[in-house]
Amino acid sequence: MLTNKKIVLAVSGGIAAYKAAALTSKLVQAGAEVRVIMTESALQFVGSTTFQALSRQPVYTDTFKEQDPRYIQHIDIADWADMFLIAPATANSIGKLANGIADDMLSTTLLATEAPVYIAPAMNVHMYSHPAVVENMQKLDKWGFRFIEPGEGYLACGYVGKGRLEDPETIVALLDKEAAQSQVLKGKKVLITAGPTREKIDPVRFFTNPSTGKMGYALARQARALGAEVTLVSGPVSLAAPSDVEKVEVETAEDMYKAVTERYAESNIVIKSAAVADYRPKQVFDQKMKKSPGDYFVEMERTKDILQHLGDHKTGQYLVGFAAETNDVEEYGREKLRKKNLDAIVINNVSEEGSGFGHDTNQSIYLTKTGRRLELPMMSKDEMARKVLLEIASAVAGDFV
């Protein structure tokens, strides 16, 4: 699956840089086109000529040494990449990426790329467990960067423990698997809803909920990474639209109903992760309401049940819902799965610390109407999105069996 894949291999300054030479060779043998970026520190361990010979491509070491005056090289390489691999990834390179520092060829290119980034750490065992390094890795994991865990064994510093760069053969096998997964939704049209809705009471007040859209945006990002054509119908959030995703902005439950139903017939997979208001004010005022003595009561009316409508009008779509519960979560989730005629449901216990609205992490139970049950422990929302989408892709490939 790596044939003709464009891979940027970033080599940072650790003794494990020598393994990156073997990694370059194996990637090329697997059919990939490899371009190597080396930090100044990496050059202290292995010369650029080695990587140039193995990759049969120029090696990039200096942001200001432009090899082709027609292009800005760090932008050109960032756009060129299908995959971006940092191996070895030192504590310094991880720290720069986690904190948005761009002071050399590697760090500037990393900030510019939209390709999936794989990080293969290699460092002393105590450095690997240092709170600053751990925090940086956790931050990157939450942002959707993918880590290739280091192995355990004898380290160059003399210690024995975790911190050894994973073997080149294992890294190539992992990238090959990732490349295969990048095609599992190719040709599929995926419609995803995200975020909250707002139901106005007057021009300056509205009812809403705490949804930030993070889960829905992670689903859109990962669906695109798996090869799908993605439409994201989003309520008001502060998130940037994922690249190569059609974003449709809506405000109210009625807006979302119209946007989704207009696109439903042409969709293969529909994932409704938005937190849509169940009720709206029955009367909406054209002018700002003024304070007056005593209490004020707002009469509410039901909004349209979008998920129920979609379940009642399926014509072959694979329909996935989300349930945010605080008690009896699986029982309520199973009832929603049945009642709404869903193919699958993701059940979130939003009362759990680190799970649900506003968090970068989530834990859920994934259920299907065919009886599949999958526990999804606490993980980043991007990682969860990918696992859910791979489950959906498998079901769709098997015609929902």
- The sign of the torsion formed by the CA atoms of 121, 125, 126, 131 equals positive
CA distances from 339 to 206, 218, 254, 264, 279 (A): 30, 27, 22, 19, 19
Check residue 241 and give its pLDDT: 85
**Within a domain: residue 213?**
yes
Q: Is 108 helix (H, G, I), strand (E, B) or coil?
A: helix
The domain that contains 391 carries what CATH number? 3.40.50.10300
Name the pTM for this structure.
0.77
**Does 161 share its domain with 277?**
no
* pLDDT tens by residue, 183-196: 899 999 999 999 99
* pLDDT tens by residue, 108-143: 999 999 888 999 999 988 899 999 999 999 888 878
**Does 135 share its domain with 204?**
no
Q: Specify the residue for token string 């049969």.
A: 56
pLDDT-based confidence at residue 264 (cuts at 50, 70, 90): very high
**Does 345 share its domain with 368?**
yes
Is-cis flag, bond preceding 88, omega within 30?
A: yes
**Does 157 share its domain with 204?**
no
Strands (E), 127-204: 146-147, 151-154, 160-164, 189-194, 199-202
157 pLDDT above the threshold of 80: no
Among residues 130, 149, 181, the one where a domain terminates is 181
Number of domains into which the chain is organized: 2
**Does 226 share its domain with 325?**
yes
CA distances from 214 to 142, 272, 367 (A): 11, 13, 21
**Does 125 share its domain with 219?**
no
Contact predicate 83/6, CB 8 Å:
yes
**Within a domain: residue 82?**
yes
**Does 249 share its domain with 158?**
no
279 pLDDT above the threshold of 90: yes
* pLDDT tens by residue, 369-398: 999 999 999 988 888 999 999 999 999 987
**Closest by alpha carbon to 149, among 160, 139, 162, 131?**
162
**Does 201 share its domain with 107?**
no
* pLDDT tens by residue, 247-256: 999 999 999 9
* pLDDT tens by residue, 324-359: 888 888 999 999 999 999 999 999 888 788 777 888
Strands (E), 155-243: 160-164, 189-194, 199-202, 205-207, 229-234
Among residues 131, 165, 181, the one where a domain terminates is 181
pLDDT-based confidence at residue 46 (cuts at 50, 70, 90): very high
**Does 313 share its domain with 276?**
yes
**Does 170 share its domain with 211?**
no
| Burial class of 395 by CB neighbour count within 10 A (0 to 12, 13 to 18, 19+) | buried
**Within a domain: residue 215?**
yes
**Within a domain: residue 1?**
no
Identify the weakest region by mean pLDDT among 56-70, 252-266, 360-374.
Answer: 56-70
* pLDDT tens by residue, 140-155: 887 878 899 886 655 5
% pLDDT > 90, the chain = 75
Catalytic residues: 157
The domain that contains 29 carries what CATH number? 3.40.50.1950
**Does 177 share its domain with 212?**
no
Identify the weakest region by mean pLDDT among 2-16, 106-120, 141-155, 279-293.
Answer: 141-155
**Does 174 share its domain with 230?**
no
Among residues 181, 200, 226, the one where a domain terminates is 181
Q: Specify the residue for token string 């169940």.
A: 278
Q: How far apart are CA 373 and CA 248, in angstroms?
A: 32
Kindly report the number of other CB atoms within 10 A of residue 194's CB atom.
27
Kindly report the number of other CB atoms within 10 A of residue 175's CB atom.
24
* Segments forming the whole domain that contains residue 348: 189-397
